[in-house]
Structure 1
Amino acid sequence: MTAVARSQHRVALVGRLRSFGDASALRWMGPAGLQTMAYAALADQVDDRRVALGGAPRLVLLEAGNDVETVVTLLAALAGGHPVIVTAPGESRLVDAWDPDVVARGPRLEARRAGTAHALHPDLALLLSTSGSTGSPKLVRLSTHNLDCNAGQIVDALSLRPDDVAATTLPLQYCYGLSVLLSHLSVGASVLLTDLSVVDACFWDAFRESGGTTLAGVPYTFDLLDAVGFAAMDLPRLRLLTQAGGRMEPAAVRRWAELGKQRGFELAVMYGQTEATARMATLPTHLAASNPSSIGVAVRGGHFSLARVDGVAAGVGELVYEGGNVMMGYASSTADLAEGPGPSTLPTGDLARFTPDGLVEIVGRLSRLAKVCGLRIDLDRVEADLAADGHPAHVMDGGDRLLVALAGSDGSAADDVLRDVSERYAVPRASVVVATVDEVPRTGSGKVDRPALRDRLLAQSVERRAAGDVPVRDESAVGVAVDEVRRLYAELLDRPDATDGDSFVSLRGDSLSYVEMSVRLEGLLGTLPPSWHVRAIADLAATHGAPPAQLARSRRTPGWLRWRVLETSVVLRGLAIALIVLTHAGVLEVRGGAHVLLAVAGYAFARFQLSGAERSDRVAHLLESITRIALPSAVWIGVIVLIDDRFSWWNAALMTSVGGGTGHIQWRYWFVEALVHLLAGLTVMLCVPALDRLERARPFAVPLGLAVAGLVFRFGLVGVGSHHVNGRAAMVLWLFALGWAMARADARWQRWLLTAYVAVVVPGFFGDPMRELAVAAGLLTLLWVHSLRVPAFAVPVLVPLASASLFIYLVHFEVMGRVGYSLLGAAVSLLTGYIAWRGASPIVEPVARRVGGQVRRILS
């Protein structure tokens, strides 16, 4: 047989190799250390091998390794229009099944005939196993367009750039591993070729020496990373971890995202199938911690929809993908190699739903529905429920039984799991098989080999006893810590309904309650992670809780003898309000504290108000915060209006800038008014769906853009009014937006950019160099220093001051006007503000929550 006439279209990324010139394309560790191959040299080798493969298209079977020869042969086949089956070494079954014209092993090309024995479609470029394993008789047919399209989509989704260096942590016959190679080569980036495992110290030596920036893995890879102490590794250029190849537990996604924030890298959760060339969706990195169960949104040019499935919950359907990266179709025999492309839609076989924000969540698998004793059971749901109970397991359909393999268990939990599964899903105990496995079988791509695991459980014929003594679960130290943490949340947030799955943000805590909560939690659990406020109570306690005996010993040690670690924003709030009061009292002369507090408010806004998964949550949370600030302020200033004719109702309405206040006294509460106006404006912004989506997609660029836009007021390009200019909301927009951007600045270059912004914008703002120096020092401390060590004896002073800062600001003018502008007057003001905060909170908090609840109902 002869080949069908070939299309002139070739894989574009291969044709661009030479354009990258002397840039490093491939790196590997040789006997003499790190070796490199430039793009120009790679292009030369590809051309030579393309000539060796011949001019007429032939079917090539490539036994792939993570080495230079594999890459050269693969690219040569793609450049010459030779469809290539990529498989693991030693797969003689595929040679027999597909009768390739050429078998490539390393640098050797074993020609089995001069031409081809097959009719080959002109657009056919690549054939891969559907599972990434090596023995599947069915292959996925991928076209030249599929490869170029998905490489571009991945480059776009991950913002890959020429200075990136990726390591081959996955085999190249696996679509995910192959896409790492092709996407990086398409932008002139470099690839470290290695077949070492991530548990091998030599892998990390090579990764560091080559300047590795991106690392790809399946969930099992991340388990291995945990095992080798990845969190403590020094990887100075690492900027991105990508995860695909199966669902990773939400708790693990959140944990890795938080580790990335601490260490300066990002986590990109991705979703794909071989049938879509590689990847179909990516979760924006800034949403990983807040949406750990989501796969995100479709890659550029792709589109998701839901197909109706009978018998599933409302809003759930089979996920269907459409895009240019969808395969030509399957090949079950050589006759299929001549077939043209099929539909550009791909039913994924996954059950999914859309969140109100347009993110996709996978909730199950069509083929993962078992029918036991007449009951339809979602096996993925069973796995998720067991994992939530602390029992990682793999659940399979055993025909008339449920098969549950407990991973890494010593067997003591088997009875508990048997009873729990039986009772929760109304399945007779005799129809549930629970077994422990020391080592879970896996495919070559690292996925769990469920068929092999199923066969093992059936062969063992494990039958747990249906009744009898059940081991009593150990009430561990962590369990006690969970109860204590939950009680603390209930007390400080006035939320007796708090559950183990709630977080500080989900319980609608904000910056006013954040200070006391963080300090009390630190005393209970020890040093807190940066994103503790978005972590579930159970997760926080399980990860950071100390055993009760240890806590008791710690509490017996005199606290004032130790140092404590407080978040920088907490320290700045306490110091700033103290300096404001002492400066107004004439005791000190350190001005600028209120403007630092505006940046701290922007920082808190990003951490709390923008942590909601849904737009309605964000807007409701914002209005709750506005209520917590505006209500007590309006009431207090309203009382002052009644007794002091220097004030007007414009002041009580927090509209002095509208009412035209011209006296210094009338502008005493400018800070509160400016903060409320800024939050109100941002509330309106987030009510617009497009702007809400923009902020989620560009979490650093949006506040940076606002900070830059605010400069038109800062430098007087647009007038804001003639009196008390530096206290008007528009004039201090740049400060609030700067604090917001600081909270979103995860990368070092972003922090340096904001440092430059401070250096340019702060000088000249007040016309007072000392005041500007104080503001700049506060801003840069907030930007660069996450936490500060303070003497333990100072904590009982700093924390109440920071917590009550709003109320101290409100009352201190009136208190000192009666007690005196002195150190005594300042002390009494601080104490009075603290008492006012304690007294007003039980009244203000229910009102704020009611406002938030009404807004949620309206927007839902």
Structure 2
Amino acid sequence: MSTQLDLQRLSIAANLANYGDRTAVAASNGVLTYRELAGRVEELGRRLGTERRLVALTAGNDVDSLVGYLAAMAAGHPLILLPADKPAALESLVAAYDPDVILSSANGRTVLEERRPGTGHTLHPDLALLLSTSGSTGSPKLVRLSYENLQANAESIAEYLGITEYDRAMTTLPMSYCYGLSVINSHLLRGASLVLTDLSVVDPCFWDLFRREGATSFAAVPYTFELLERVGFAAMKLPTLRYVTQAGGRLGPDLVRRYAGLGARSGWDLFVMYGQTEATARMAYLPPRLAGTSPGAIGVPVPGGAFRIDPVAGLEHGELVYSGPNVMLGYAQTPADLGLGRTVDELRTGDLARKNADGLYEVVGRRSRFVKIVGLRVDLGQVERILADLGIQAASAGTDQGLVVAVEGEHDPALLGKLLAQGIGLPRAALEVHSVPELPRLASGKLDYPAVLALAKPTRQHAPSSTNSGATPQDSVVKIFEDTLELTDISDGDTFVSLGGDSLSYVAASVRLEQALGHLPPDWHITPVGVLGARLEQPRPRKRRLFARLETSIVLRAVSIFLIVSTHIGFLHWQGAAHVLMAVAGFNFARFQLSGERMPRLRKQVASLARVIVPSMAFIGFAYLITDRYSLANIVLLNAIIGPEEVTTRSHFWFIEVLVYVLVSMTVLLALPWVSRAEKRFPFLFPLVLLAAGLLTRYEHFEPGIPHTPPIFWLFALGWAVARARHILQRGAVSVLAALTIPGFFDNPARELTVLAGILLLLWLPSIPVPAGLRRLTVLLASASLHIYLVHWLVYPLLVELSPALAVVASLAAGSAYWALCSVAPTVIGRAKSRILSAR
């Protein structure tokens, strides 16, 4: 049964001509005015016919797709909107819903495939649009949206964003995704312009287009912000940018706060938003003025909408329920459902929430078995049903980072992974399939989903291509990170810093990466594994070099430990190297210990502290047992505070103690939420404030070699400021501070010059050439510097009378051996534990 076209249509699409000669669309192939766009829409509407029919559109961010969408909406034809780059989704939904017409674009023109002259469906007069839930694909379950839903949500969004006819939005998201479509609807509603593009934000051409067209906004999902970090968005000059919107998953509070602060400084607003396809697009937004103080909130309901929280038995928080004119008509799972009217009046979101003291709503968890991966909501039950239809028993679990599926019996995981990735629209890298003899179950007989999730393991390694003759599979980025960080679960989106890398593991990782890549990018430690792996596969020339460049901090660590040991032994006399190492410690702390959200960052800092404290206490405890030179205070690294005066060698380990005191103090300080926010918002100013505080004690009486934390702390803060100095003015300011504060710290000008030179090298030279023959030795000494400092106190007294030079060499060798022992110990212990557990 058909329904006449004049019953319903979307006024956004039907009234385009009202905006006359204003620019509607800017695209790679030219500009369309609203009048011209209306003409093309009307022409395609005539081709679609005078009887309501079910239309399927494979859409990209191009003019033809936009015309196809608007033509169906203006003429009243219900539309299934599908991504153009997912042919499997088109095939699946065409088979499930049997559309009357399929629209696509090819070679700059709209292709209309008429599958029957009329319609084979009963179509409810309110039905306008059918979308996969939250942008997912591969499931026959679609959201039924009405013309009122689309119109009301566009008006609501345009209202709280303050969209006017002078706005120009970049299309950073697919039109087939409800978030991307809402950008189109809300701007066309107000006669604003769209800049249609499929370019990624990592492409310089995207930003060239942004500036050329005078764009005023773009939309982002959480992954977009990772890409923005990579391209240096914070330093970009975008004078026309008015606001950035974020949805498609939860953005970490630290990132919300950081980008809100960046926007406040740069003249644009950040709108954090919350929505679901079932609510057409948006249900809540966080007013930009509150993003800095309530970064974890979803905000307030959109205009015209309302929330309530219904209690959930057995849970602390209730379920968030939304009502408003944008709530869907209901779901469709078969063609028969297309004739249904409204079957739901409100939306039970499945999210657990609370309302804070400021009246803002906060989502605290999920009630249902859904995960959102790269902006796509995946129904874990649907994954299991897809495999069940193939006769395969499966259990699926996942997080917002990836999906893990266990299949029972002997199956090909690679083949099933490819099938599932196509079926649900996920990137293959976000999906793991494991074949198991039996699905893990609890004592009750229910599936044990935590056990399924625990199956996750690295299945992707970046093996070099045949053209990269200098690298082997063992030199892949994943393998390097596995070895140096002692991890096994590494994905393409991880970075050295996010995996918990610190200054102790940095040296080994950086050197092996340089060997594999042929060069070391300056930002490698914050570059995703997948990007580094792609660089590994690129051919690179092989040539012998007399000198090899090493990062300056690595060279300084190696040279400093050699000078420290040699000076203590009397082989030569060159003081100041230990204080250079303190500045390097601050430099590395800023690079490796300050990323991520507050609690994960705290765990990473504690783990890094343990890698300093445990080997130090273990060795000093050994020294206490075999000599009479140390006390229990030395073992627990409290000699500076409670050590007995009669122990003449009490200051041997002063550097270790001071370093631990400083690291503990900074870890505790940054655990305070307001301090953490301040550091994120003012990354360069923050260490300067610490430096100023440290300088208050810098001019106190200081006896060299005796532990006294406050007078040394300012050097740590100075190294921190070096790491945060991003441009020449900031580096110049730090240089001046170093030149003003270091002189007068010691009574020895040569010692002061050493410290100043070390800091200036760290500040101005990213790398230093060393003779190629000394490269491995330099790396070894830098890696083992902490352990050499510990061990040399016991080694050199045995040999110094025989030969100071021999004592130096033996101390360096013994310290390096202790470093190697400490490096392999965790792996050996872990394997032993695994064998014990397996035996049980």
TM-score (norm 1): 0.52
**Do 2:417 and 2:431's aligned partners in 1 also have CA atoms closer than 8 Å?**
no
Instruction: Indicate how the Cα distance of structure 1 residues 207 and 691 shifts in structure 2: closer, same or farther if over 3 A, else same.
Output: closer
- Letter of the aligned partner of 1:591 in structure 2? Q
Q: How does 1:346-365 map to 2 (within 5 A)?
A: 362=372, 365=377
2:815 maps to 833
1:668 maps to 652
Q: Distance in 2 between matches of 1:752 and 1:393?
A: 53
Deviation of 1:766 (Å)? 2.7
Q: Which of 601, 610, 621 is the equivalent residue of 1:624?
A: 610
Measured against aligned partners, the alpha-carbon deviations of 1:287-335 in whole angstroms (never above 9, x if no partner) come to xxxxxxxx98347779999978999x999997779xxxx9886899xxx
1:169 maps to 170
Measured against aligned partners, the alpha-carbon deviations of 1:630-687 in whole angstroms (never above 9, x if no partner) come to 32452365258x344xx65544443333247779854333211101111232344456
Secondary structure of the residue aligned to 1:138 is helix
2:800 maps to 819
Measured against aligned partners, the alpha-carbon deviations of 1:179-205 in whole angstroms (never above 9, x if no partner) come to 9999xxxxxxxx999778859999766
Q: How does 1:570-649 map to 2 (within 5 A)?
A: 570-585=554-569, 590-610=574-594, 614-615=599-600, 617-618=603-604, 620-635=606-621, 638=624, 642-644=627-629, 648-649=631-632
1:806 maps to 786
Aligned residues with identical type, % of pairs: 29
The answer to whether structure 1 residue 712 and structure 2 residue 711 are counterparts is: no
1:297 maps to 296
- Letter of the aligned partner of 2:515 in structure 1? G
2:552 maps to 568
Q: Distance in 2 between matches of 1:149 and 1:569?
A: 49
- Letter of the aligned partner of 2:578 in structure 1? A
Q: Distance in 1 between matches of 2:775 and 2:308?
A: 53
Report the number of matched residues.
611
2:719 maps to 739
Measured against aligned partners, the alpha-carbon deviations of 1:53-88 in whole angstroms (never above 9, x if no partner) come to xxxxx999647636999999xxxxxxxxxxxxxx98
- Letter of the aligned partner of 2:296 in structure 1? V
Deviation of 1:268 (Å)? 9.3
Secondary structure of the residue aligned to 1:566 is strand
2:6 maps to none
Q: How does 1:412-451 map to 2 (within 5 A)?
A: none
**Do 1:276 and 1:327's aligned partners in 2 also have CA atoms closer than 8 Å?**
no
Q: Which of 657, 661, 664 is the equivalent residue of 1:680?
A: 664
Structure 1: stretches of 5+ with no match in the other structure: 1-57, 73-86, 98-128, 153-164, 183-190, 261-265, 287-294, 333-344, 397-401, 408-412, 427-472, 852-860
Deviation of 1:834 (Å)? 2.2
Deviation of 1:570 (Å)? 1.4
Instruction: Indicate how the Cα distance of structure 1 residues 237 and 143 shifts in structure 2: closer, same or farther if over 3 A, else same.
Output: closer
The answer to whether structure 1 residue 766 and structure 2 residue 746 are counterparts is: yes
- Letter of the aligned partner of 1:567 in structure 2? E
The answer to whether structure 1 residue 656 and structure 2 residue 614 are counterparts is: no
**Do 2:24 and 2:188's aligned partners in 1 also have CA atoms closer than 8 Å?**
no
Instruction: Indicate how the Cα distance of structure 1 residues 746 and 177 shifts in structure 2: closer, same or farther if over 3 A, else same.
Output: farther
Instruction: Indicate how the Cα distance of structure 1 residues 329 and 842 shifts in structure 2: closer, same or farther if over 3 A, else same.
Output: closer
**Do 1:142 and 1:327's aligned partners in 2 also have CA atoms closer than 8 Å?**
no
Instruction: Indicate how the Cα distance of structure 1 residues 403 and 582 shifts in structure 2: closer, same or farther if over 3 A, else same.
Output: closer
2:777 maps to 797
1:8 maps to none
Instruction: Indicate how the Cα distance of structure 1 residues 318 and 300 shifts in structure 2: closer, same or farther if over 3 A, else same.
Output: closer
Moved more, 800-809 or 828-837: 828-837
Deviation of 1:729 (Å)? 1.6
Secondary structure of the residue aligned to 1:564 is strand
Instruction: Indicate how the Cα distance of structure 1 residues 94 and 692 shifts in structure 2: closer, same or farther if over 3 A, else same.
Output: same
Measured against aligned partners, the alpha-carbon deviations of 1:16-63 in whole angstroms (never above 9, x if no partner) come to xxxxxxxxxxxxxxxxxxxxxxxxxxxxxxxxxxxxxxxxxx999647
**Do 2:301 and 2:307's aligned partners in 1 also have CA atoms closer than 8 Å?**
no
1:543 maps to 534
Q: Distance in 1 between matches of 2:580 and 2:812?
A: 19
Q: How does 1:356-395 map to 2 (within 5 A)?
A: 362=372, 365=377, 370=382, 385=403
Secondary structure of the residue aligned to 1:731 is helix
**Do 1:498 and 1:507's aligned partners in 2 also have CA atoms closer than 8 Å?**
no
Q: Distance in 1 between matches of 2:707 and 2:188?
A: 54
Measured against aligned partners, the alpha-carbon deviations of 1:200-234 in whole angstroms (never above 9, x if no partner) come to 99976676789x999846689989x99xxx9799x
Q: Distance in 1 between matches of 2:589 and 2:316?
A: 32
Q: Distance in 2 between matches of 1:178 and 1:728?
A: 64
**Do 2:547 and 2:772's aligned partners in 1 also have CA atoms closer than 8 Å?**
yes
Q: Distance in 2 between matches of 1:285 and 1:683?
A: 25
1:65 maps to 23
Instruction: Indicate how the Cα distance of structure 1 residues 802 and 150 shifts in structure 2: closer, same or farther if over 3 A, else same.
Output: same
Q: Distance in 2 between matches of 1:383 and 1:687?
A: 25
Deviation of 1:798 (Å)? 0.5
The answer to whether structure 1 residue 138 and structure 2 residue 121 are counterparts is: no
- Letter of the aligned partner of 2:588 in structure 1? A
Deviation of 1:799 (Å)? 0.8
Q: How does 1:273-312 map to 2 (within 5 A)?
A: 276=282, 280=286, 297-298=296-297
Q: Distance in 2 between matches of 1:215 and 1:89?
A: 22
2:508 maps to 516
Q: Distance in 2 between matches of 1:575 and 1:268?
A: 47
Instruction: Indicate how the Cα distance of structure 1 residues 380 and 785 shifts in structure 2: closer, same or farther if over 3 A, else same.
Output: same
**Do 2:285 and 2:300's aligned partners in 1 also have CA atoms closer than 8 Å?**
no
Deviation of 1:592 (Å)? 2.3
Deviation of 1:487 (Å)? 5.5
Q: Distance in 1 between matches of 2:795 and 2:204?
A: 65
Q: Distance in 2 between matches of 1:59 and 1:690?
A: 49
Instruction: Indicate how the Cα distance of structure 1 residues 791 and 307 shifts in structure 2: closer, same or farther if over 3 A, else same.
Output: farther
Q: How does 1:28-107 map to 2 (within 5 A)?
A: 62=19, 65=23
Deviation of 1:92 (Å)? 7.9
**Do 2:154 and 2:186's aligned partners in 1 also have CA atoms closer than 8 Å?**
no
Q: Distance in 2 between matches of 1:844 and 1:635?
A: 19
Instruction: Indicate how the Cα distance of structure 1 residues 835 and 423 shifts in structure 2: closer, same or farther if over 3 A, else same.
Output: closer
Q: Distance in 2 between matches of 1:840 and 1:331?
A: 60
Q: Distance in 2 between matches of 1:569 and 1:169?
A: 41
Structure 2: stretches of 5+ with no match in the other structure: 1-14, 35-64, 77-128, 136-144, 263-267, 330-345, 354-362, 406-412, 440-459, 834-840
Q: Distance in 2 between matches of 1:474 and 1:489?
A: 11
- Letter of the aligned partner of 1:819 in structure 2? V
- Letter of the aligned partner of 2:751 in structure 1? R
TM-score (norm 2): 0.53
Instruction: Indicate how the Cα distance of structure 1 residues 533 and 60 shifts in structure 2: closer, same or farther if over 3 A, else same.
Output: same
**Do 1:595 and 1:735's aligned partners in 2 also have CA atoms closer than 8 Å?**
yes
Measured against aligned partners, the alpha-carbon deviations of 1:778-828 in whole angstroms (never above 9, x if no partner) come to 223333444444332221121111011122223445544441585454334
Q: Distance in 2 between matches of 1:811 and 1:221?
A: 46
Q: Distance in 2 between matches of 1:567 and 1:243?
A: 38
Q: Distance in 2 between matches of 1:317 and 1:756?
A: 57
- Letter of the aligned partner of 1:624 in structure 2? A
Instruction: Indicate how the Cα distance of structure 1 residues 807 and 417 shifts in structure 2: closer, same or farther if over 3 A, else same.
Output: closer
Q: Distance in 2 between matches of 1:652 and 1:419?
A: 46
Q: Distance in 2 between matches of 1:177 and 1:793?
A: 61
Secondary structure of the residue aligned to 1:597 is helix
Secondary structure of the residue aligned to 2:550 is strand
1:111 maps to none
Instruction: Indicate how the Cα distance of structure 1 residues 144 and 216 shifts in structure 2: closer, same or farther if over 3 A, else same.
Output: closer
Deviation of 1:569 (Å)? 1.9
**Do 1:66 and 1:168's aligned partners in 2 also have CA atoms closer than 8 Å?**
no
